[in-house]
């Protein structure tokens, strides 16, 4: 049972980590907690289920699962990227020099707007995701589905690619420079607007992909499906050290495993409580998060 709960927790934790990375990237650049990040996941799930339904009607989904999934992810990435550009341009860019509280309230407004907008457009009923990965690996006393393997492996690949992107590419280095000092970065010739816009795009891509994973894992897309995963991902970002990319990864995985173990050994009704108890403990004894101290020293 322990191994089963760890596998379940690792799967959820990887999804939380992807959303948490969106929080961390945006906070690192403009020192803003974007509470609409969870709703970006919801939008990604809706785009994905819409594309899957269209592909199913034309028979493409059964002909080539790999090509169909690739197309689903591609359309979702494009859609969420455009959403990220729009949100940054309309909601946050005009408030860039305003008090942080104004931007924080705006992010809550964007979150509520997306939730209610999708409820009005598509209704409050669940949109069913087709079961694409039904097979289980034949392991003794443990259930490991191909879907869980897919989520874990893809999440790890995306985390690695993000790490390489930030460390090795010119745009990634620009993001790091802007996060350190916007004024000096501008004087060095870095386009601040482009860098911030790119950060929102990357965060939205991660959110959209996590939305597909959430939809596939739970089998549904719903207008409010991003609320609690978004809150838990924010918790994961704080656990790892907000603004720290490796910390967001660690925080997401730890939170997912703690949540799963508490659900398996104590009660499903209290799994959320133990996740937030962990947050309180970390804030009391290590308020900078698991990896926050290293960031502050650097």
Distance between CA atoms of residues 20 and 271, nearest Å: 19
Query: Could you tell me if 288 and 28 are in contact, meaning their C-beta atoms sit under 8 angstroms apart?
Result: no
Whole-prediction pTM: 0.92
Query: Could you tell me if 80 and 37 are in contact, meaning their C-beta atoms sit under 8 angstroms apart?
Result: no
**Closest-CA residue to 196 (of 53, 128, 96, 49):** 96
Give pLDDT, residue 292: 67
- Kindly tell me the sign of the dihedral angle through the C-alpha atoms of 132, 135, 137, 140: positive
Distance between CA atoms of residues 252 and 146, nearest Å: 21
Q: Based on the number of CB atoms within 10 Å of its own CB, is 170 exposed (0-12), middle (13-18) or buried (19 or more)?
A: exposed
Q: What angle do CA 36, 39, 43 make, to 5 degrees?
A: 135
Distance between CA atoms of residues 256 and 9, nearest Å: 4
Give pLDDT, residue 201: 97
Q: What is the pLDDT of residues 61-110, one digit of tens each?
A: 767 778 889 999 999 999 999 999 999 999 999 988 888 889 999 999 99
Low-confidence stretches of the chain (pLDDT beneath 70)? 62, 292-298
Give pLDDT, residue 236: 93
- How many CB atoms are closer than 10 A to CB 144? 17
Say if strands 142-145 and 136-139 run parallel, antiparallel, or are unpaired: antiparallel
Distance between CA atoms of residues 282 and 11, nearest Å: 22
Say if strands 127-128 and 136-139 run parallel, antiparallel, or are unpaired: unpaired
Give pLDDT, residue 296: 42
**Segment (H or E) for 150:** helix 146-168
Distance between CA atoms of residues 210 and 272, nearest Å: 19
Q: Based on the number of CB atoms within 10 Å of its own CB, is 254 exposed (0-12), middle (13-18) or buried (19 or more)?
A: buried
Query: Could you tell me if 12 and 154 are in contact, meaning their C-beta atoms sit under 8 angstroms apart?
Result: no
Give pLDDT, residue 30: 86
Distance between CA atoms of residues 45 and 115, nearest Å: 13
Query: Could you tell me if 167 and 236 are in contact, meaning their C-beta atoms sit under 8 angstroms apart?
Result: no
């Amino acid at each position: 049972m322990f191994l089963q709960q760890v596998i379940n927790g690792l799967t959820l934790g990887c999804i939380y980590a992807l959303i948490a990375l969106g929080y961390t990237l945006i906070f690192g650049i403009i020192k803003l907690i974007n509470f609409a990040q969870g709703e970006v996941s919801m939008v990604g799930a809706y785009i994905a289920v819409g594309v899957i339904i269209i592909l199913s009607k034309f028979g493409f989904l059964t002909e080539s699962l790999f090509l169909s999934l690739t197309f689903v992810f591609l359309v979702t990435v494009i859609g969420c990227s455009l959403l990220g550009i729009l949100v940054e341009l309309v909601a946050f860019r005009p408030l860039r020099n305003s008090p942080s509280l104004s931007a924080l309230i705006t992010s809550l407004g964007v979150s509520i707007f997306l939730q209610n907008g999708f409820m009005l457009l598509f209704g409050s009923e669940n949109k069913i995701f087709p079961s694409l990965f039904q097979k289980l690996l034949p392991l003794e006393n443990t259930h490991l589905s191909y879907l869980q393997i897919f989520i874990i492996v893809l999440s790890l690949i995306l985390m690695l690619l993000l790490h390489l992107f930030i460390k090795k590419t010119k745009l990634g280095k620009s993001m790091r420079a802007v996060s350190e000092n916007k004024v000096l970065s501008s004087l060095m010739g870095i386009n601040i607007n482009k860098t911030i816009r790119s950060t929102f795009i990357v965060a939205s891509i991660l959110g959209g992909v996590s939305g597909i994973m959430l939809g596939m894992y739970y089998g549904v897309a719903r207008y409010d499906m991003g609320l609690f995963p978004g809150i838990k991902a924010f918790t994961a970002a704080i656990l790892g050290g907000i603004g720290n990319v490796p910390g967001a990864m660690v925080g997401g995985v730890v939170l997912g495993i703690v949540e799963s173990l508490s659900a398996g050994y104590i009660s499903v009704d209290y799994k959320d409580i133990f996740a937030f108890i962990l947050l309180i403990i970390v804030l009391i004894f290590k308020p900078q998060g698991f990896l926050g101290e290293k960031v502050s020293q650097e």
